[in-house]
């Protein structure tokens, strides 16, 4: 087994153990970027657990250049994440609108059939009245040889008139319903077309940002790429350590719900699968594709995008979070990860990366939401 696979297996086993003990005290993940660092209480600090650093040969000028590259890459991938959320939202809306159009089409067909039947009934009633000659009731009474038979017939006529009136009313209502169905269908078609355009625009933005990022990275030498990776790890480590140094992990002791355990189990099983924008499994995922599918597997469907997960799910304090909860990142809610305990998350980071374990504080936290509140 190669070192990459051993590292992945180690991370997976570590997370499974963390899930099993459900945030048992004494262990904390201080390292981000897919590498876990376990340490005994108290929580690790930079002094106790040295931060990764660029290769020794990196000069200050080279480091400054690579920092600019890292900032640019972060911006490009962040913009791609925002566009991915927009694409996913348009995709979900398109699915709903398509389903609504199909349902309306069925109602229109059923309404047209009902109207045709009503017209046939109305025609039969009109023909029956024509056969009686349309005589006034007084004339029919004078001409009748059997007054009682006439009175019985008159009662039936009154019933028929009421039925005809109801029939005409039902026809009018059915015609109005058909008109409303047609208007609704037309409106949904307009929305569907707008979302198709939104999807196309978002897809174009995603590809543009990812292509720019890949082009920038392709210009780097192998040594520079290694130094850049070290800088990324260092930044994530610094952020995670600062988060742990607040003492927050001492306050987080929530235990996963039954559905939360199932969601964590699903997310853990996806470790190592590639990030692909717009993907929701089973072979690849984007960030919200992973979290939405994990909770769907737990029997509790949630919104598809990170922004809608932030808007629609119940917010909880960071100190109250438990395994299975979702951590939303960045001010625009453009990234989401699943908390799995011990200060760690599982997430699908960005293009070119795989579903991995990271420190919960390795990115700017916007807030925490609970799907099964």
Q: Which residues are designated catalytic?
A: 287, 335, 347
Other C-beta atoms closer than 10 Å to the C-beta of 236 total 22
CA angle 88, 90, 96 (to 5 degrees): 105
In order of 174, 236, 259, 297, the CA distances from 306 in angstroms are: 42, 21, 19, 17
Please tell me what DSSP assigns to residue 362: S
* Pairwise CA distance, residues 192 & 93, whole Å: 8
Kind and range of the H or E run holding 346: strand 344-347
Quickly list H helices, 219-353.
Answer: 222-245, 248-251, 258-269, 287-297, 306-312
Q: Do 164 and 125 meet the contact criterion of CB atoms below 8 Å apart?
A: yes
**CA torsion angle for 184, 190, 195, 201 (degrees, to 10)?**
180
């Amino acid at each position: 087994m190669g070192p990459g696979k051993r590292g992945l297996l180690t991370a997976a086993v570590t997370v499974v153990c963390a899930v099993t003990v459900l945030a048992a005290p004494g262990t904390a993940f201080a390292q981000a970027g897919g590498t876990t660092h376990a340490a005994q209480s108290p929580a690790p600090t930079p002094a106790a657990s040295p931060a990764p650093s660029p290769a020794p040969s990196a000069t200050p000028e080279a480091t400054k250049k690579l920092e600019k590259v890292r900032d640019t890459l972060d911006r490009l991938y962040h913009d791609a994440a925002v566009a991915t959320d927009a694409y996913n939202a348009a995709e979900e809306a398109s699915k709903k609108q398509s389903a609504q159009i199909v349902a309306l089409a069925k109602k229109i067909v059923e309404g047209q059939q009902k109207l045709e039947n009503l017209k046939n009934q109305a025609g039969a009633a009109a023909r029956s009245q024509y056969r009686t000659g349309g005589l006034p009731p007084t004339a029919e009474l004078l001409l009748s040889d059997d007054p009682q038979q006439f009175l019985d017939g008159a009662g039936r006529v009154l019933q028929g008139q009421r039925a005809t009136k109801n029939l005409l009313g039902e026809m009018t209502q059915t015609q109005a319903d058909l008109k409303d169905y047609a208007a609704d269908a037309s409106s949904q078609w307009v929305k569907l077309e707008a979302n198709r355009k939104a999807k196309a625009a978002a897809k174009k933005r995603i590809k543009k940002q990812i292509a720019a990022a890949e082009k920038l990275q392709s210009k780097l030498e192998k040594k520079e790429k290694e130094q850049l990776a070290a800088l990324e790890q260092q930044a994530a480590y610094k952020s995670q350590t600062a988060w742990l140094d607040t003492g927050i992990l001492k306050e987080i002791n929530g235990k996963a719900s039954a559905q939360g355990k199932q969601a964590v189990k699903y997310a853990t099983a996806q470790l190592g699968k590639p990030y692909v924008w717009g993907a929701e499994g089973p072979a690849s995922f984007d960030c919200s594709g992973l979290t939405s599918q994990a909770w769907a597997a737990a029997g509790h469907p949630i919104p598809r995008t990170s922004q809608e997960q932030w808007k629609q799910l119940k917010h909880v304090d960071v100190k109250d979070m438990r395994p299975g909860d979702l951590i939303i990142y960045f001010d625009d809610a453009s990234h989401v990860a699943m908390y799995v305990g011990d200060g760690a998350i599982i997430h699908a980071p960005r293009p070119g990366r795989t579903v991995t374990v990271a420190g919960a504080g390795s990115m700017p936290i916007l807030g925490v939401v609970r799907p099964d509140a």
